[in-house]
A and B are shown apart, each in its own frame.
Chain A
Amino acid sequence: MSEAMRTAPTKPNRGYGRWTPLWFLAPAVLTLFLIGIYPTLFALVTSFRRYNITRPREGFPFVGFENYIGVLTDSTFWSSLFLTAKFYVTVLPIQVVLGLIIALLLHKPGMGFLKSLARVTLVVPLATTYAVVGLIGRLIFNRDFGVANQFLGFAGFGPVDWLSTPGGAFAAIVIMDVWQWTPFCALLFLAGLSMVPGEIEEAARLETSSKLALLRHVQLPYLLPGLTAIMILRSADVLKLFDMVFVMTRGGPGSATDLISIYIQRVGFRIFDLGTASAQAILLLIITIIISRLYIRLLYREV
């Protein structure tokens, strides 16, 4: 800021004009435009072309909606989306129920030290690098020396060939996802529980000794925004889920854990059919935009 500008109080509106916000916004918006919007438009164009970079001689001709028709009639694409949905409806109830139990335990008065310890450790799974969660999964669910089979043995069950059977691999990625994301649900519910006014909760505790009644009539309304956030964010996260599953199973065995992001990655970077992969990515983006709209509509009141 030059001295000349600073000593010019004659124009009181300087710096408060209509365009002032623009100057502050421009750096971030222009950057996101260059690295976000421009590539997305490039993907949109690519999705209308035949674009296999292993066969550059054929060129990259425009083929209209050929890629989209190909994707929408591709049963693998649909079964991958279906598998992603199945994964979502499997992990979500487990995470919500476990998360709620954890939140209630942490909300209950008493046990100061142990409670703070438990509260702090919840952050650990959330911060663990997703790829490393996959590495841990490979170790824990190893058929020969994995600790998961040792636990099964303690419970009187025989060993399971986790990662090379379809059911076992699906269960293994579900368990790792539950481990990583249950704390997220717990923290959201805990935030909701702490919003219940103290007097109301005290009064209700005097009225009834039933924990379930307390939960249903007093605490539930405060938990609902958190639950909505969990349902929407988890759905976006499951559509994004790549790292952990890629490291643990690469989508296999067969297509047992071939979630949508894994599948598109394979079409794009193993088969190098970037036209088809771009069409799939654009369809995925459309689903994501709908989810984001929902999130804004339901959870943001101030914008």
Chain B
Amino acid sequence: MRGKLLHAIGLAAIVVFTLFPFLWMVMASFKTQADILASPPVWFFTPTLQNYVDIFADTKVSGSILNSLIVATLSTLLSVTLATPAAFALARYDFRGKSDLWFWFISNRMTSPIVLALPVYLLAMYMNLLDTHLVLILIYLTFNIPIVVWIVTDQFKSIPPELEQAARLDGADQFTIFRKIYLPLGAPGIAVSAIFSFIFSWNELLYALVLTRRNVQTAPVVATSFMSGYELPWGKIMATGTVIVLPVTIFALIVSRHMVRGLTMGATK
């Protein structure tokens, strides 16, 4: 009995630990400035929607959310298009240099964005690509392609080879087999990997901070930019934060079973 109680308390503590900072932000987003600045902090207050009204009226915030949406969606689509054929090759063929290729994908996952941010900034400057959606869409492929390749390769490997052999007997070539068998049967893995790409692109700050100016600022950049100045608009900041986090949290809950695979590039299952 005592053991059960302790177990319950422990589990409840996990829920409080993981949700508290998140909920504290959501609570603040419904507070007036006076309630947020109250010392000591207030836990019970009359909620207001004013902060949300303010940020959606602010074209800078709504524009930045649109930018994030464009960049994350297009980068995800592009990475799925480019990476699923590669996943097919890795799942079904043995060839020289395969392990080197893996190593390269893994190092892309490990490398600090600052390493690429410096040269890409200079290259984009010379090519007049600074502050465009395109440069962000392309640079996000550096982490999106590896994640899609990994998850989809894993999924493709689980497709029974008999299906392929049957199709071969019917005279189908590899491109047809890829299109007609692997893409449809691999769809769940492709969907999971697309959700991961979207989450990573949506959450990214450093590249967006360095490579954009006025026109293409993404939502995390704008939320961060509120943090300078004298009197901080805390309510607006927290409402913006909530709006940024909410969609990806929902996505993450959908793929929660695959979270570990996504974050470790599948080293442990």
Contact = CB atoms under 8 A, between A and B. Distances in A.
Interface of A: 1, 5-7, 9, 14-16, 20-25, 27-29, 31-32, 35-36, 39-40, 42-43, 46, 53, 101-102, 105-106, 108, 110-111, 114-115, 117-136, 138-140, 144-147, 149-150, 153, 176, 179, 182-184, 187-188, 191-192, 225-226, 229, 233, 236, 239-240, 242-243, 246-247, 260-261, 264-265, 268-269, 274, 277-278, 281-282, 284-285, 288-289, 291-293, 295-296, 299-300, 303
Interface of B: 4, 7-8, 10-12, 14-15, 17-19, 21-22, 24-25, 28, 36-41, 81-83, 85-86, 88-90, 93, 95, 98-99, 101-104, 106-123, 125, 138-139, 141-142, 145, 149, 171, 173-179, 199, 202-203, 205-206, 209-210, 220, 223-224, 227, 234, 237-238, 241, 244-245, 248-249, 251-253, 256, 259-260, 263-264, 267-269
A240 B143 CA distance: 13
A40 B118 contact: no
Contacts of B120: 35, 39
Contacts of B10: 101, 105
B82 A28 contact: yes
A108 to B, nearest CB: 6
Nearest to B255: A123
A31 to B, nearest CB: 5
Given A123-B256, A129-B203, A284 B114 contact: yes
Contact of A278 (B106, B119, B175, B227): B119
Query: Max chain B CB contacts within 10 Å: which of A24, A182, A260, A285?
Result: A24
A139 B238 contact: yes
Contact of A15 (B8, B22, B82, B173): B173
A115 B237 CA distance: 33
A134 B205 CA distance: 11
Contacts of A146: 41
B227 A139 contact: no
The 3 closest A-B pairs by CB, nearest first: A15-B173, A127-B252, A15-B174
Contacts of A128: 22, 245, 248-249
Given A132-B220, A135-B238, A303-B102, A24 B110 contact: no
A281 B114 contact: yes
Given A35-B142, A46-B122, A187-B259, A131 B224 contact: yes
A43 B119 CA distance: 5
B118 A277 contact: yes
Given A46-B122, A184-B263, A145 B38 contact: yes
12 contacts: A5-B173, A25-B85, A124-B249, A129-B220, A129-B241, A135-B238, A136-B24, A188-B264, A188-B268, A192-B268, A282-B115, A292-B110
A24 B88 contact: yes
A243 to B, nearest CB: 4
Contacts of B248: 127-129
Q: Interface residues of B: mostly helix, strand, loop or mixed?
A: helix
Contacts of B220: 129, 131-132, 243
Given A16-B174, A132-B244, A121 B15 contact: yes
Given A261-B113, A288-B110, 12 more contacts: A1-B173, A16-B174, A24-B85, A25-B90, A28-B149, A127-B248, A130-B205, A145-B37, A149-B40, A153-B40, A240-B111, A242-B205
A225 B173 CA distance: 40
A127 B249 contact: yes
Contacts of A285: 111-112, 115
Nearest to B208: A131
A139 B256 CA distance: 28
Contact of B11 (A114, A130, A264, A300): A114
B112 A111 contact: no
Contacts of B224: 131, 134-135, 246-247
A261 B114 contact: yes
B99 A303 contact: yes
A136 B173 contact: no
